[in-house]
Structures are given as structure tokens and as C-alpha cells.
Structure 1
Amino acid sequence: MNPGISEVILAEPRGFCAGVDRAIEIVERAIAKFGAPIYVRHEIVHNTYVVNELKAKGAIFIEELSDVPPGATLVFSAHGVSKAVEQEARDRGFSIFDATCPLVTKVHVEVAKLAKEGYEFIMIGHKGHPEVEGTMGQLSSGIHLVEDVEDVAKVAPAQTDKLAVVTQTTLSVDDAADIAAAVRMRFPKVREPKQQDICYATQNRQDAVKIMSPQVDLVIVVGSPTSSNSNRLRELAQRLGTESYMVDSAAELQPAWFEGKTRIGITAGASAPEVLVRDVIDQVRAFGAVSVRKMDGIEETIKFPLPKGLKLDDIPPPGHIS
């Protein structure tokens, strides 16, 4: 027990975003309507707890479509898929529900539209992330990945008259801005999105950490190691000079982190459920925290519609993972 901890401050907003809510509901409703098992390509969202809860309800997570039996129901994860994966799923005759976040789909649509006009693309993102693979896989060629400012100097497009930039939706807002500035400097005529590609939830959670970090001695981010937006929150707090750790669950909290700390900030990535945040709060209370205060912050009211075929009134609303 640490008698020095006087207060826990909760970031607002934190946790589930509209795209994650929608993706989980798609899997739950598919199980309710068609029965288990329902196959999901890649983790539906990058959170261990969510994936395990859905496995218990009858979801089977796969990477290769060859692991899905003929005639099965398949859900694409919130991160989106390449054209090749989409075509293979159709060719194999699966019943498909697309849980791609609509804000990722917006980027895919923009790439397809500009590609028809002869554009090449620079994509700002993390190599190997499923969202990046899905977006780059919208085209067979002409899309160049940059992960940092140094990469911008190495890009060799076939032409520079028609060049556009797109961004992974879950990046650090500040890092992406720095890289985009380097792209503009090297390619002054580059076309940028009308609205930034980084999603509202990523922006809002990072903005909340910027406000919270100077007020606390330690920031705990609830999120899984594979979650891009959760990692960015931890990095941001650290960059702002506040010691920060990311945990998948309360069991990972280390008492030593809290020694000499008076105020603790807690936030959660967009794929982390509130039940995990409550567990972390309970553990920090056990370490000696006296009070819990929620920051003032933006209230998110966005809700995305479900795909056709899952909206029927005769499907009971599934119990959310929360």
C-alpha cells in the first residue's frame, strides 16, 4: 500500500470508439443470427480481453482464409483488408460481413478514386500493421510507405505531378504532422486529404493525455501490446515528461511504479473496454489511492450503422463487452 497516492484522474474520452463498438457488435450479431462458429480474419480489434470474450461466444480468429471451411460466415476485422483478401474471400464463397471501421474505408475510397485519376500515393504508417496492409493493398503498385521523416527522402515515385498522401488512422497526431510536413517540403504539389485521416477517437484520446499528463506523476494506459493507438498514448505521455506504462490488465500493474507518486492518470486505448479500466482503478485504490476524479472532456456521440443483414429487428441486441 502506498499512502502517498491521493488521487486518480481519469482521462475523458478514453476506451471504446464507434468503430470498435460497431466491429464487436457485428461479430456478436452474426453469432446470434447464424450460430457459432463465426470466423473472423485477424483479431477483430487489438485487445486480448475482447478477443477472448468473443472466442468464448463462438468466434474463431484466423489469418489465412484457407483455414475457413466452405460456406462459412466470415467477418473482416476493423482494420480493413486488401483487395486481394477481399477477392479471395468472394472466390471461396463465404458469407461476408465487413467490420472495417468506416473511417478506414474512407481512406480506401479516397485511394481508389485518386488512383483512377492517375495518382501515386505516400502512406504514413507502421509497416506490418493490418490497417496499413489493407490500405496499401487497395492498389497493386504506386503506393509508398513512410514510417518516419527519414523515410521521406528515400521515396522514389514514378512521377510527382500527381502525388497524394494518406495516413494510418491510429498514429501519433504530432508524429504524422511532422512526417506530412517533410512530405510537403520534398513534394510541394502533394495532395493532402480534405480532412485528416487520423480518426477523431485517436485525436481526442491524445488531446486528453496532453491535458492530463502535466497534472499527474504517472500515466497508466490500458491497452494491448498490438494496439497502435494505445501505444501512441503511452509514448505521448512519456514524451511530455510523465512516467507512463501500458497494461493489458490490472494484473500487470507493478507496486514499484507507484512509489513516491501522488496523482495517477489513467486512460485507455480505443479498443480497450471499460471493465479493464475499472479493474485498474480498483487495483490502484488497493495501492492506496483515496479518490477518483474524471476529467472534463469531449463527449463522443458518433455511431456507425451496421452492415445490411445484421440490422433485422428479430436479432436480439447482443450483450456488449464493456
Structure 2
Amino acid sequence: MDAEKPPLEILLCAPRGFCAGVVRAIDAVEQALNLYGAPVYVRHEIVHNKYVVDALKRKGAVFVEELDEVPDTSAPVIFSAHGVPKSVPDAAAGRNLFAIDATCPLVTKVHREAQVHHKRGRHILLIGHRGHPEVVGTMGQLPDGAITLVESAEDARTLMPREPDNLAYVTQTTLSLDDTAEMVAILRARFPTMSEPHKEDICYATTNRQEAVKSVAPRVDAMVVVGAPNSSNSQRLREAAERAGCARAVLVQRAADLDWTVFGDISRLGITAGASAPEVLVEEIIDAFAVRYAVTVETVTSSHEDVFFPLPRALRPDAAE
């Protein structure tokens, strides 16, 4: 049978898939279910992946968009990895809810930076995407008007802050490295006294996954990014592949979403996965290609990751004793 199939070499990007913040957030929901039983309420998708969310629902997690959907309960209420505005934990405390914050520590770092700049009297420029939960959460750390959102190079060029000599910038953690570098360069040129993060805000996982894609994309005929359409880091991977020279770059959630007309005559395929996409979905995609092609798989590693974040304190093994 394989003799009749066209050969296909798959280059698997590494690192790919789950990052330490996503692992911590998913583990937080599972550990809350282990310690306290169902239901466990989760405000917003714990991570942007339908497969992960559906699996947690089957175990007893109840996902809500806002706290007012949570009944008066002693069950845990978990905040997603993307972070939340300050008003959310305040509202939870006002209702005596058992709130557990699963915000990624690297997002919390951005929140703290913004708070420090605000205390020092600086106006903050936040480079990010309007409406993304992480941006909503970061802007919600400070009073209205304390942060200005910068979404594009055009925004960076035309922004007219009230105190141009008293600025600081922070960024969403899941942005395009190239887009962000362009915006920062424009802002630096316009506002040379602007304060900068001590360490890059774009997280290690976003950076590493984009660099892996950039190394593979010029070598392949097509690239599949496994991830959700509402996942910022997954969308940026697709864009990075296109920019690096792969004209056929697609973002899919599952093998069933593959449009086979896109692939046709390819002989080499790149595959990666966003930071909230589980490896089982990568394997599903490879299996789908193996039905149609005689597949060989090679992993292309651009960096190694060993980052680990401990669970929120309320969920550590001794918490329920």
C-alpha cells in the first residue's frame, strides 16, 4: 500500500506545544478536582484549546465567562492562565468565593511591572491585541487611563501621550517577536527616555516556538500549526511561518479541519503546535497525513526547555489536610 503513496518528510518543530504556564493551569484544574471534587468553576477557558477544555468539562470543570455565572458555592473558582483584571479577585473576595489564581507567572510579572511603573508616576504603553484576555487582565490592574494600548506600528508612530518624557512600556507575552521589535524601535526613537522591561516580556515559550518555526519554514512546502483560532501564540506561529518563506501555512485545531486541497503535491511538511495545544493532537495530524502519504518524521530542535512552575499554593499536596 505504502508503495502507492507519495513520500512525505515531516519536520517536527521542537519545542512545540504545552509551555510551563499551560501545564500549571491544566494541572491546577485537575488537582482542584482531585482535592475538592466536582464541580470546579473556571473563569474563561483555562487555556485556549477546545480539546483541553472539553476534557476538563468531562471531569467536572464548569467554564464560565464571568463570575456572576458562578452560584454561591464553596467549590473552587479558578482564574485562567491569561490573567484577570483586579476587579475579578475583588469581586470573588466580596462573595467569599474560594478563588484560585492560575495566571501564568510570566503574565503576573507583566502585571507587577505595570504596577511599579504606575507607582513611579509613569504612563504605560501596553503592546498587545485589543480584547485578548491577557490584555484585558493587564489593563485591569490599574485605574482607567493609566495604560494606553499600542496594537500596530501605525499606533506607535501616531501616539500622542500627554507626558512623552514619562513613559514605560510592557507587552503581551504571546506576540510576534518581529512585530513587537518594530513597534519598540519606533517607540524608542520617538520617546528615548521611555522605561523598558528589565527582561523581555514576550515569554520564553512564545520566543522558542517562533524561532523553531523560522528554522523549519524555509525548508518545507507547507506548515501546519496545531492550535485554536483564538490562541494568540498559535496565530503568531502561522504568521512566522509565512514570513519565513512558507507560503502554505495553516492553523488547524484537529485533523478533521485539514483542507487536503492545500497540500496536494507537497514532499516536505513542517508541523508545530501552539503553547496550549496537547501533543495528542500533533500525533493525530501526523496519523492523518500517514493515511495519504508514506511518512517519515524528523524532529528539528532549536532549543531545549526545562521551565517548571509550581501549582498555586491552595493546590499543593498539603493544602487540603
Q: Structure 2 matches for 1:208-287, cutoff 5 A?
A: 208-242=212-246, 243-287=248-292
Read off the aligned partner of 2:199 and give its amino acid letter.
Q
Find the aligned partners of 2:243 and 2:115 in 1 and give their Cα distance: 36
Q: Structure 2 matches for 1:6-21, cutoff 5 A?
A: 6-21=8-23
How far has the Cα of 1:156 moved from its partner? Answer: 3.1
Read off the aligned partner of 1:110 and give its amino acid letter.
E
Find the aligned partners of 1:73 and 1:241 in 2 and give their Cα distance: 47
Question: Deviating runs (4+, > 2 A) in structure 1?
Answer: 1-6, 153-158
Find the aligned partners of 2:88 and 2:301 in 1 and give their Cα distance: 42
Q: Are 2:211 and 1:207 equivalent residues in the alignment?
A: yes
| 1:173–1:203 Cα contact (<8 Å) kept | yes
Report the secondary structure of 1:44's partner residue. coil
Find the aligned partners of 2:314 and 2:173 in 1 and give their Cα distance: 27
Find the aligned partners of 1:3 and 1:116 in 2 and give their Cα distance: 64
Read off the aligned partner of 1:16 and give its amino acid letter.
F
| 1:5–1:264 Cα contact (<8 Å) kept | no
Find the aligned partners of 1:301 and 1:6 in 2 and give their Cα distance: 31
Partner residue of 2:159? 155
Aligned-CA RMSD value: 1.4
Q: Are 2:112 and 1:89 equivalent residues in the alignment?
A: no
How far has the Cα of 1:46 moved from its partner? Answer: 0.3
Deviates more, 1:262-271 or 1:305-314: 305-314
Seq. identity, %: 54
| 1:255–1:287 Cα contact (<8 Å) kept | no
Report the secondary structure of 2:301's partner residue. coil
Q: Structure 2 matches for 1:189-200, cutoff 5 A?
A: 189-200=193-204
TM value normalised by structure 1: 0.95
Gaps of 5+ in 2: none
Find the aligned partners of 1:283 and 1:265 in 2 and give their Cα distance: 14
Deviates more, 1:26-35 or 1:146-155: 146-155
Find the aligned partners of 2:147 and 2:301 in 1 and give their Cα distance: 41
Q: Structure 2 matches for 1:111-190, cutoff 5 A?
A: 111-140=114-143, 141-190=145-194
Report the secondary structure of 1:295's partner residue. strand
Partner residue of 1:319? none
Count matched residues: 315
Gaps of 5+ in 1: 316-322
Read off the aligned partner of 1:66 and give its amino acid letter.
D
Partner residue of 2:111? 108
| 2:313–2:319 Cα contact (<8 Å) kept | no
